[in-house]
Structure 1
């Protein structure tokens, strides 16, 4: 167990009256939030209860030091306990995929099946310096509208799609200035842990689906032995014409892959 106290995380919790399946827990990636998953949640809530969590320092959840995967997984377990959920299917994208893998290794009895979206259990190189610089610039620039914020972000990030994604982390404060809702300082301090391997020991023996984008470099073929070492029952599916944000690039294909996998393991 980590020596950092668990936080009370914010979550979106949806369920249609006729939904029958075991609940699905969705965990976003770095600089993401539960809100980014609303369109997918609406698709799946007819099949089962769906819960999308805001990890610490993200979305509407509290800010605190400590971005180790064990720490974030303990936050999620505390959320499951609060919601009275003993066992769920777990889907995690990018950083959230490493949280999901850690959760599955730490508490396999809580995880009926695991879906990992475009991440491997390996250490990655530093790849977010431009993102951190862009968000720092926004914090310093104190924009009063989205146009001004985009201009500040563009000083460090060329991709319009990436800037739009980062802008989901901006909220208007009482002074009328757009402010960051992410815990940027805490995330930067914990970045060495974020790019590192997931925590936990041994292998998760439950059914697992790994979805990767064919235009993404996050899960290359030479990483698959590391994947199979801790996820021995993994099935790898490559989604065509998709990058790292495969759920946004090819939403229909992503939703179908997840729904088919969950249907096949509904009795798990």
Structure 2
């Protein structure tokens, strides 16, 4: 049963020829809020919907992080918003959701943009992050400085701590708390690290953006990637895994060009 996702909706621009909307799907531990600056730029050309996946952002917490369930959540949101077809963009885990959606309902996808992920299983490399988030959860920080200190006991990279801290919100009893459904995410971590779901290939127009300094989409993965996404155009940006944050203008330009062509 799909859950009702929280989302940001730019509404349609005044231009009558704006075309299909753009649906943006964040990665693990992310949220729609991470995409606000991009949404502000894109909304001049078309309607943009940035979603909070289940157990992320302001969306409800629910058991089951399988890619079929998360894709059905997004399709249900499109139905609620009256969107028949959309350009679908997903980063990392969100890219696997987008691939699954495109396989399950190709008629709903005008084009597909996959940001720095391949349709395959990955190793379990979030142990330090989970430890930091659990320490943060148990520590009940009063402010962001305390939260950063708690996270820093496990997560040494400041950029990662700043990203994780976007999941903090003010608690009713005071102080800060995580808004993530951490139990649900950790319980189904195996599914998150697994490949996207669905059968066969998505034959529609596809752009794969990858970071030159990222290990997530390497040259040796491209043959298998094209078995699932045979029409994929692969573009490499001078960035790591967080290419949309590290190279925002180049990222937006690549998406703009591709979406405008389709």
Task: Give TM-score scaled by structure 2 length.
Answer: 0.98
* Number of aligned residues: 260
In the alignment, does 2:183 pair up with 1:185?
Answer: yes
In the alignment, does 2:38 pair up with 1:65?
Answer: no
CA drift of 1:245 comes to 0.4
Alignment of 1:13-52 (within 5 A): 13-15=9-11, 16-18=13-15, 20-52=18-50
Inter-partner Cα distance in structure 2 for 1:122 and 1:230 = 10
Query: CA deviation digits over 1:113-139, x for unaligned, max 9?
Result: 000000001110001011110000001
Alignment of 1:18-167 (within 5 A): 18=15, 20-167=18-165
1:263 corresponds to which residue? 260
Please state whether the residue corresponding to 1:130 is helix, strand or coil: helix
Inter-partner Cα distance in structure 1 for 2:9 and 2:170 = 25
Inter-partner Cα distance in structure 1 for 2:194 and 2:229 = 17
1:209 corresponds to which residue? 207
CA drift of 1:177 comes to 2.0
C-alpha RMSD over aligned residues: 0.7
After the TM superposition, list the runs of 4 or more consecutive aligned residues in structure 1 that deviate by more than 3 angstroms.
Answer: none
Please state whether the residue corresponding to 2:87 is helix, strand or coil: strand
Task: Give TM-score scaled by structure 1 length.
Answer: 0.96
Query: CA deviation digits over 1:16-66, x for unaligned, max 9?
Result: 323612100000000000000000001100110000000000000000110
2:240 corresponds to which residue? 243
Inter-partner Cα distance in structure 2 for 1:79 and 1:135 = 29
Inter-partner Cα distance in structure 1 for 2:67 and 2:240 = 24
Inter-partner Cα distance in structure 1 for 2:146 and 2:101 = 40
2:251 corresponds to which residue? 254
Query: CA deviation digits over 1:80-104, x for unaligned, max 9?
Result: 0000101000000000000000000
CA drift of 1:172 comes to 1.0
Please state whether the residue corresponding to 2:103 is helix, strand or coil: helix
Query: 192, 195, 219: which one pairs with 1:221?
Result: 219
2:8 corresponds to which residue? 12
CA drift of 1:175 comes to 1.2
CA drift of 1:225 comes to 1.2
Inter-partner Cα distance in structure 1 for 2:167 and 2:212 = 27
- Structure 2 portions without partners, runs of 5+: none
Inter-partner Cα distance in structure 2 for 1:166 and 1:218 = 20
Please state whether the residue corresponding to 1:22 is helix, strand or coil: coil
Inter-partner Cα distance in structure 1 for 2:37 and 2:171 = 26
